[in-house]
Structure 1
Amino acid sequence: MDLSVVVPTLNGRDRLAACLDALDAHAPDAEVIVVNGPSTDGTTGMIRDRDDVDVLVEVSTRTANVSRNAGLEVVTGDVVALLRYDLVVEPSWLAGLEGGLPEAPVVTGPTHRTLDGGMTTEESERRRVGSREVTYFNGGNVAFRRSVLDALDGFDEYLETGGDRDAAHRLAALDYAVAWRPEMCVRQEYSADGGVTTGDRGVEFRSLAYRLVKNYGVQPAAATGTIRRALRDALDAGRDVVRGDLAPTEWFGTGRAVVTGVARGVADGLAARVEDRTPTRNPHGVSDRSDRAVARYDWR
């Protein structure tokens, strides 16, 4: 197995250094590609001073899927892993990856998160959407056979969030299995507040509606998931208003952003579905453009 590891990063120099140290210790023969950008914390200099990074790709767009695809353009391995910059692989990671590949062409594993009260971990997630059984994967800790990534044409760059969820739906459409290997584990150290940030709800629901409509069309499988999620969030926010933890104006503003996001996501999802009618369902993938990188340093 020739393994390539793509590590997208943005303004995380110290955490990236720890990630690379762990890769060098536990997967020393892997080809390592760091996709940076646009960072302003000295990441480029830190990478250029190391001897365990094979390629550094600088990009100007702050989205995970663009960074992922920029890395996929330069990998040479027949197996490609995606690793988030703030995660460190554990000693069993490589053995778990290798052990999962005979079972399925996509392998993922859990993230161990250290909190004040102890440690949490993830479990495999699977859901039926319409007639498909979709197995989701950990977008910051996953490995693919190169042929699978070619069939997917990488990740959909329309999506600002949820690119790994979208890819899971497309894997199911292409009849690719996903293996869950607990040994393929990574670790993330959290600060006291848990390190959780709140995202843009409009963007989140636009991405959700887009990927469901793009993959399933306008049918109950797509509508039910979006509506259920919107109603659950609205009820949770309503309880916050009653308790006085959230202003009514903020609740209405968020609701407006959700409705607008869903409407735009549905329209754009329909357009994408028409543009790519194949099971790949990726009109904004790796093959769509060749100008992602603004600079590239190749030390192979």
Structure 2
Amino acid sequence: MLRVDGGRTLVGGSPPRVLHLSRVAHERLAGPSGVPADARLVVGDPTSAALARLLTDAGVAHPEPAHADAPDAAAVSVVVPVRDRPRELARLLAALAGSGVGEVVVVDDGSADPAATARVAAATGARVVRHDVSRGPAAARNTGAAASAGELVAFLDSDVVPEPGWLAPLLGHLADPAVGLAAPRIVAWSGAGAGASVAATLTLNVRKAPRSIARRVVARYEERRSSLDLGARPAPVTARSRVAYVPSAALVVRRAALGAGFAEDMPVAEDVDLVWRLAGEGWRLRYEPVSRVAHEHRDTVGPWLTRKAFYGTGAAPLALRHPRRVPPVALAPWTAAAMTLLGVQRRWSTAAAGAVTLVATVRLAKGLYDARRGKDRARGVTDTQRLQRHAADTPRELLRAARLAAVLAPWGLGGALWQAAGALTRHWWPAAVLGALVSRRIRRALLAAAVAEGLADWWRFREPGSSDALGHVVAHRLDDLAYGAGLWWGAWRHRTLAPLRPDLSGKAPT
């Protein structure tokens, strides 16, 4: 978060927002030298409650996951959809032992050996509900929710292992009656911790063959960049933000918010659809990485790429159900113009892109200054009164607005470059490759994007001292190729270009 003017203006969140704090709001947060990075707001009255809601909804502040009024674990019904995974199910149920949840409902979604599922569930006291024929994970979750009684429903896939203490932070968020869903961070399972001994017993001590180089590269990449792992920072969950969705591999939902549950006609992306429907109904959704649930990631190249392509096929039905929420890029008109000019790859076009950015900076500075004046008008202060009472402040306010705009405009252009590089190598790569066959400029742009974005991604997610940039970039590009192939296949199958069209309006979806 960027603090300007002693914290009177806050810039942060995803997408970035500029918040001008009132005097009262600033006083609630400020210390002797402005608003510190670790400022805390204790909610104790309507004013502090309204300020907390504003800051958390904007994503510039985050609720603490511990709360005295958090629901008890006994109010939670755990629902586990499973099909032919007795080993993984036993591992999960062992990890849940002692968690204090009210009940565990296992939904056997048409397993070939239902007796094995029943034996594993009976060993831990879990209740089993069965589908004679597989109906898919969405239907299995809905069946389990309907068969359970808890005020809160925790959905856990059979291939996850909750780490100790995973539930309490999520329940802390659900102490807020406006929060309808809370989700943990999904991390790579190391084979240790709760459930590991059970898994070792069930494998009958069969020794696995050493991983190949390709499998090690994929496993390392998935530890850093799994599609299920949404990072180490807490966030509100909202479309077109840093945390735009949370996976159904592990999440806790308030029953009152769940409604009809998961869309059973969506074999993929049904979790994203649920999240966006809840947000559209006004529920707040929280991602809390203090809560950790481990997942056994795929590391065999073929199944890994198949799963990535499968994820890509979900973009088309999502785009049809939730217009403007899954564009490959979302740019303001001026950043789109600047990116187009840079793509021409000529000196004059680069200079023109700089001119567009300069004009946008000036217009942004004026907009920021006018926004401050608009707040005075909302309080009933006329321009004449403002000039009389704050004449000396006007030049300073203009300078503050110019300085902030000089930060925000390049920030916006950098974000546009990042989006464009990602779209070229992920969402649009089939078209980009065809263009590269006939255009030297497109070849240069595609190669530069593939290398620069890949290296930047490695640098962003690397561990200190790691030197595996090549393997990471190769895996990242394969990830994008598979996802993009699935996206185009899904778009063709649904006869729509919606997930391929950029959004150049510069406005958030309604």
TM-score calculated relative to the size of structure 2: 0.42
Secondary structure of 2:98's counterpart equals: helix
The residue identity in structure 1 corresponding to 2:276 is: H
- Tell me if structure 1 keeps the 8 A contact 2:187–2:292: yes
- Tell me if structure 2 keeps the 8 A contact 1:134–1:168: no
Give the strand-richer structure, 1 or 2: 1
User: Which of 231, 246, 250 in structure 2 is aligned with 1:137?
Assistant: 246
The residue identity in structure 1 corresponding to 2:248 is: G
Aligned pairs for 1:207-218 (under 5 A) are 207-216=314-323
1:261 and 2:370 aligned: no
Take 2:84 and 2:487, find their aligned partners in 1: how far apart are those partners? 29
1:231 and 2:340 aligned: no
Take 2:484 and 2:166, find their aligned partners in 1: how far apart are those partners? 42
- Tell me if structure 2 keeps the 8 A contact 1:34–1:55: yes
Task: Give the Å deviation of 1:75.
Answer: 1.4
- Tell me if structure 1 keeps the 8 A contact 2:110–2:130: no
- Tell me if structure 2 keeps the 8 A contact 1:137–1:178: no
Q: Mark the runs of 5 or more structure 2 residues left unpaired by the alignment.
A: 1-71, 191-215, 331-421, 437-445, 447-473, 475-482, 499-510
Structure with the greater alpha carbon radius of gyration: 2
Change (3 A) 1:136 1:203: closer
Identity across matched positions, percent: 24
- Matched length: 251
Take 2:253 and 2:485, find their aligned partners in 1: how far apart are those partners? 39
Secondary structure of 1:183's counterpart equals: strand
Structure 1 vs Structure 2 CA RMSD? 4.0
Partner of 1:74: 147
Take 2:143 and 2:320, find their aligned partners in 1: how far apart are those partners? 26
Take 1:74 and 1:236, find their aligned partners in 2: how far apart are those partners? 50
Partner of 1:94: 167
Take 2:172 and 2:80, find their aligned partners in 1: how far apart are those partners? 22
1:40 and 2:101 aligned: no
Task: Give the Å deviation of 1:196.
Answer: 5.6
The residue identity in structure 2 corresponding to 1:231 is: W
Q: Mark the runs of 5 or more structure 1 residues left unpaired by the alignment.
A: 240-244, 246-253, 270-300
Task: Give the Å deviation of 1:265.
Answer: 2.9
User: Which of 60, 84, 88 in structure 1 is aligned with 2:133?
Assistant: 60
Secondary structure of 2:126's counterpart equals: coil
The residue identity in structure 2 corresponding to 1:64 is: P
The residue identity in structure 2 corresponding to 1:184 is: S
Give per-residue Cα distances to partners, 1:1-33, cap 9 Å, x unaligned: 411011011221111101001112323x42111
Take 1:135 and 1:101, find their aligned partners in 2: how far apart are those partners? 19
Task: Give the Å deviation of 1:198.
Answer: 2.7
Give per-residue Cα distances to partners, 1:260-280, cap 9 Å, x unaligned: 53144357x9xxxxxxxxxxx
Give the helix-richer structure, 1 or 2: 2
- Tell me if structure 2 keeps the 8 A contact 1:35–1:56: yes
Partner of 2:256: 147
- Tell me if structure 1 keeps the 8 A contact 2:187–2:293: yes
Change (3 A) 1:187 1:180: same
Moved more, 71-80 or 38-47: 38-47
1:175 and 2:404 aligned: no
- Higher RCO (Cα < 8 Å, 6 or more apart): 1
Take 1:3 and 1:179, find their aligned partners in 2: how far apart are those partners? 17
The residue identity in structure 1 corresponding to 2:91 is: A
Task: Give the Å deviation of 1:230.
Answer: 3.1
1:184 and 2:291 aligned: yes
Take 1:36 and 1:10, find their aligned partners in 2: how far apart are those partners? 6
Give per-residue Cα distances to partners, 1:56-87, cap 9 Å, x unaligned: 33352252211111112211110001001011
